[in-house]
Structure 1
Amino acid sequence: MTPANLAAMCALAGLDIVALTDHNTCGNCAAFCRAAEERDLLALAGMELCTREEIHVVCLFPTPHHGEEFEAYVSRRLPPLSNHPAVFGHQIYMDAGNLVLGEDPRFLAGHTDIGLEEVSRLAAAFGGAAFPAHIDRPSFSLLGVLGLWMPELGFPLAEVSRQCPPEFRLRPDLAGLRLITNSDAHYLDQVWEAEHTMELPERTAAAVLYWLQGTR
């Protein structure tokens, strides 16, 4: 799934607002955003950050530059490990024309030493917004690890998977919390057609981030 192919599939699926969120890197966001904008999609740069507690948090930014600055900080808090492509696959960076630019030698599939309590503040400091990913899943999720939603962590909303059972949303600790659903696509055939909408004052990345931050 290359950045350009992903953008093309998003356009084919009729999506309007899209983001690329690789594990612990924003390295392909510039290519994805350019390919998406060529197809008249509103694209945000992003990262699926893995915290010290092994909880996945989606971090979104208005431009690839913002995402790259955030990644520069995150990279200093990655473990000093090298990737093993035979086990974890190649970590390739590409341009908007599917030309390979290089390969990241770092181990990006693991966790950083960034604590969950830091993430909301950090994302905001780099101009972005953050929310815990797929909290209804048993692994790599806030509720799967901690067992209980904690408002003091500063997240105004959370993501649930498409398969989230209706009764999950009725948990007392989630009362009043906004829940959103994204594709979380790892393969092109997992990019599904638009099923959800955002009411925004304008079609901009800033408006999306304000919405995610709870300032609708």
Structure 2
Amino acid sequence: MKLNFDLHLHSCLSPCGGEDNTPANLAAMCALAGLDAVALTDHNAVGNCAAFCEAAGDNGLVALPGMELTTLEEVHVVCLLPDLDAAAVFGDEVYARLPPFPNDVHIFGPQVLMDAGDRVLGEEPRMLAGAANIGVYEVKALVERYGGVCWPAHIDRPSFSLLSNLGLWDPGLGFGFAEVSRACPADFLNRDDLRGLHTVTASDAHYLDQIMDPCQSVDLPSRSAAALLAWLRCPDFRLYSRF
């Protein structure tokens, strides 16, 4: 079963996320764009995942809860969890390892928590834009402890990426693949340290108009979050296509 996917999306909980990127709006726009499988990956937080997953289900989408973790080295890593319970516990651990600074709404904007009906539940008071006290070499084992899977985000970008901050791809990190932006140069993966590296693409949408039309799909045995997560844990890129 072919599923078009985008597994890096932000809601109004993320710093600098659009206030109209509510869980319900985001899910509806993903469905209108022709996506089948999606994940909410707010910066260092999972507080809107329950609302988004419910709204995504209402729109016929397969959804996974997740987070875009900022490591100690300021490397962004997409982390997806198997269910909301695992996401909540993982979120608590990350929260406890964030700097205890308040959010400055004048710089980063409000960090809004909502339910699936887009009713405001409150605002996250702690600054989510900081780096957690979690090293990039620690991330994979930490996420797997909660049954999840993770990969470095937008490695082709000049900031908050593994390559911009560490300088090279180290297989010792244990990541099986990486994410590149849709605007990634065609020759980017010709670097010696990246030869043979498999990649996925994501919109990293912080605003509704950044949700992109499908550009990738995967064939799965069933239309389910469990099947998608199983593929991500051990991806068979023979079944993966960009179009």
1:183 to 203, 223, 237: 203
Alpha-carbon deviations, 1:139-168, whole Å to 9, x = none?
A: 000000111101111100000000000110
1:10 to 30, 37, 50: 30
- Segments of 5+ residues of structure 2 without an aligned counterpart are 1-20, 237-243
Which residue number corresponds to residue 150 of structure 1? 170
SS class of match (1:149)? coil
2:229 to 201, 209, 213: 209
Alpha-carbon deviations, 1:60-118, whole Å to 9, x = none?
A: 11222221111011111011111111111111100000100011100101111100001
Which residue number corresponds to residue 97 of structure 2? 77
Alpha-carbon deviations, 1:124-148, whole Å to 9, x = none?
A: 1111100000000010000001111
SS class of match (2:56)? helix
Quote the Cα distance in structure 1 between the aligned partners of 2:215 and 2:157. Answer: 20
**1:215 deviation in Å?**
4.8
Task: With a CA cutoff of 8 Å and minimum separation of 6, indicate the structure with the bigger relative contact order.
Answer: 2
**1:6 deviation in Å?**
0.1
Amino acid in structure 2 at the alignment position of 1:211: W
1:199 aligns with 2:213: no
The residue correspondences of 1:17-28 to structure 2 (distance < 5 A) are 17-28=37-48
SS class of match (1:23)? coil
1:138 to 133, 148, 158: 158
Which deviates more from structure 2 when the two are superposed, residues 9-18 or residues 174-183? 174-183
SS class of match (2:79)? strand
**1:201 deviation in Å?**
2.1
Amino acid in structure 1 at the alignment position of 2:151: F
Which residue number corresponds to residue 66 of structure 2? 46
Which deviates more from structure 2 when the two are superposed, residues 26-35 or residues 191-200? 191-200
Q: TM-score, normalised by structure 1?
A: 0.97
Which residue number corresponds to residue 95 of structure 1? 115
SS class of match (2:38)? strand
SS class of match (1:197)? strand
Cα RMSD, aligned residues only: 1.0
* Equivalent pairs, count: 216
Large movers: runs of 4+ above 3 Å: none
Q: TM-score, normalised by structure 2?
A: 0.87
Amino acid in structure 2 at the alignment position of 1:75: Y
Quote the Cα distance in structure 1 between the aligned partners of 2:233 and 2:196. Answer: 15
- Segments of 5+ residues of structure 1 without an aligned counterpart are none
SS class of match (1:184)? coil
1:109 aligns with 2:129: yes
Percentage identity across paired residues of the two chains: 59
Quote the Cα distance in structure 2 between the aligned partners of 1:22 and 1:95. Answer: 15
